[in-house]
Chain A
Amino acid sequence: MEAYLLNLGVLISLYAILAVTLNFIMGYAGIYSLAHAVFFGTGAYAGASVALNFSASIFVMVPTAMLCAAALSLLLALPALRVRGEYFVAASLGLQVLAVTVFAEWKAVTGGIGGLIGIPPVDIAGFEIYSPGSFFILSLVTLAAVVAITRLLVRSSFGRSLKAIRDSESAALAFGKNIALIKTTSVVISAALAAIAGSLYAAYMSFINVESFMLDTSVLIMAMVIIGGTGTQLGPIVGAALLLILPGALSYLSFLPQTEIGSIQQILYGLGMAVLMIFRPGGIVGRGRAETGEGEA
């Protein structure tokens, strides 16, 4: 039981990292990306490759993963500079589909659909971390660090510039802000931080394949942010916890027929998403509609 809760805790922490980093560009820069799973995946594959071939040390694995994701994120920054709103969403969707194809076909690195197996546990100064208990602490500490970093950034002058761009690009331009640089930097930071979650995920699961990094995952992360509350500090974490606990909790409803439980879970998950958006569009933590941010073209 304890291990089950710890396992859930690890997953929540890792997904919370993803949600927090996505919230960083969604909530503060107005960049609504449907490609966050790409950086999650890039981090996971990069981390796993390093761990399998060179060293499982966290100080080698994580930075490499971050670098790879940061480099790739320039592909997302490109459309972010050119278009807004639904056009950008579609562009990020395109990137997501392309990335899934590459994940599934670049067999030398990703193992194809079969994925990578036997990824060694992460190593911190000679200690191997793989039990749910110790890994939970590691992921929690990482989450805290990521939250601290984004919080610091949001409150700095960089964060103020971001919000200025989100609210009105032309006004920000008039104030002499370098919009291209600020937007690109925010995308790069977000992707690099998401890659940390990816590499830890790979080490924890010891198995990854493309199915964990598909469009559904991107939507799930986005749903976590929006359901929790876009542009809030706590929202993404609450959203991640809620969406990961819900399916597990549902499987305890023993009066449901076992064969249909999977479908019922999915139906409730889907309906829950819709109902929350209808009655609480600002998210659970959100203070109302002012915080949701508009994504119009």
Chain B
Amino acid sequence: MLWLQLAITGLQVGALYALTAVGFSLIFGCTRIFHFAHGATFVLAAYVFYYVESQGYGTAAGVLAASVAAVGFGVLMDRLVYAPIQRHEGSFFTVFVASFGIGIAVQNLVGMVFGRSFVTVTTPLSRSVEVLDGVYVSPLAWIAVACAGVFFLGLWFFLRRTNLGTGLRALADNPELIRVFGLSPRLLSTYAFALGSFLVVPAAVITGATAGLNPALGHHVMLISLAATIVGGIGSIGGALVAGFGLGLAESLALLQFDSQWTEAVTFAILFLFILLRPSGLFGRAATS
């Protein structure tokens, strides 16, 4: 039954990966900004939730505060860091370095403010129960998968059915066209950041309860989001979702064969091969130059 247990575990981890990856993919797909500080958004949201919740204000207040923090951070990054750099027509890499720098600063700031050690959100929901003989699933696993589904569907409807969503999709396809229609690419970009950053909140909150938090968490989150975005195909939100689940499953099922220190290598070997053999990703458009 080990494989079934690992598959279920993989789905839970994959759901969290998918949620963060979809946010990154949305931002990256729409704005082409290599938002490496997306991992910092995650850490920030997780710690704010932890803080508010542990002060006794309750889960709802915690989620609200985490959302405000995540969206606020994303929008500020876009306005204060990326917008000025893009005004100089700074290269894609200039943006990356700035973003990475902010990521380092946030990680250490969080460490100073909230302490550098391990913290965890205590909830009975993280306790697994035996659902089948030898197969344990925690209630949070179902919540994680459900969240991934609900948020993805919500995002999908938003992008298809609202004017703002259509604008965002247009931004991804052709920023020049946006101007022709009298929309501001800058404003749309800010919306993309707000939305993309908001999407990390459920994953951040659930991670706080299942795996626990430390300030250095952002790095791994970021690497996985990037891998999922590329494997899924840049610009394809659905691709990021599928790839997020896929990477979670691959990481977990790899334990059947390999020691766990190879699991990250498995993820990135998949990424490397994808770029070499199918750079457009699962659902993306052609990318080779």
Contacts and interface: CB of A to CB of B under 8 A. Distances in A.
Interface of A: 26, 32, 78-79, 82-91, 93-95, 97-98, 101-102, 104-105, 169, 215, 219, 222-223, 226-227, 230, 260, 263-264, 266-267, 269-274, 277-279, 281, 289, 292-297
Given A82-B288, A105-B261, A281-B88, A94 B272 contact: yes
Given A266-B105, A295-B93, A101 B264 contact: yes
30 contacts: A79-B276, A82-B276, A82-B279, A83-B279, A83-B288, A85-B92, A86-B234, A87-B287, A91-B271, A93-B271, A94-B271, A94-B272, A95-B268, A97-B223, A98-B269, A102-B265, A169-B289, A223-B97, A230-B93, A263-B108, A269-B105, A270-B101, A270-B106, A273-B101, A273-B104, A274-B105, A278-B98, A281-B94, A289-B88, A295-B91
Interface in B11-56: 28, 32, 34
Contacts of B98: 273-274, 277-278
Contacts of B84: 278-279
Interface string B96-121: 11111111111111011000000000
Given A263-B108, A272-B101, A294-B92, 14 more contacts: A85-B289, A90-B271, A91-B275, A98-B268, A105-B262, A219-B100, A222-B97, A266-B104, A273-B104, A277-B94, A277-B101, A278-B84, A281-B94, A292-B93
Given A82-B276, A85-B92, A277 B97 contact: yes
Contacts of A296: 92
Contacts of B275: 79, 82-83, 87-88, 90-91, 94
A215 B103 CA distance: 14
B277 to A, nearest CB: 9
Contacts of B102: 270-271, 274
Contacts of A78: 276
Contacts of B2: none
Nearest to A219: B100
Contacts of A101: 261-262, 264-265
Contacts of A270: 100-106, 108
B101 A274 contact: yes
A296 B261 CA distance: 34
Given A87-B275, A274-B81, A295-B91, A93 B268 contact: yes
A223 B268 CA distance: 23
Nearest to B275: A91
The A interface, classified by DSSP as helix, strand, loop or mixed, is: helix
A216 B95 CA distance: 17
B58 interface: no
A292 B96 CA distance: 13
Contact of B268 (A94, A260, A281): A94
B265 A86 contact: no
Nearest to B109: A267
B90 interface: yes
B230 interface: yes
A93 B288 contact: no
A243 to B, nearest CB: 11
A184 B107 CA distance: 37
B85 A260 contact: no
Contacts of A86: 28, 32, 34, 92, 230, 234
A32 B95 CA distance: 13
A87 B234 CA distance: 9
A80 to B, nearest CB: 11
B79 to A, nearest CB: 12
B226 interface: yes
B130 interface: no
A273 B100 contact: yes
- Leading 4 A-B pairs by shortest Cβ distance: A273-B101, A270-B105, A270-B104, A277-B98
Contacts of A94: 227, 268-269, 271-272, 275
Given A87-B279, A105-B261, A271 B287 contact: no
Given A79-B276, A90-B227, A273-B101, A292 B91 contact: yes
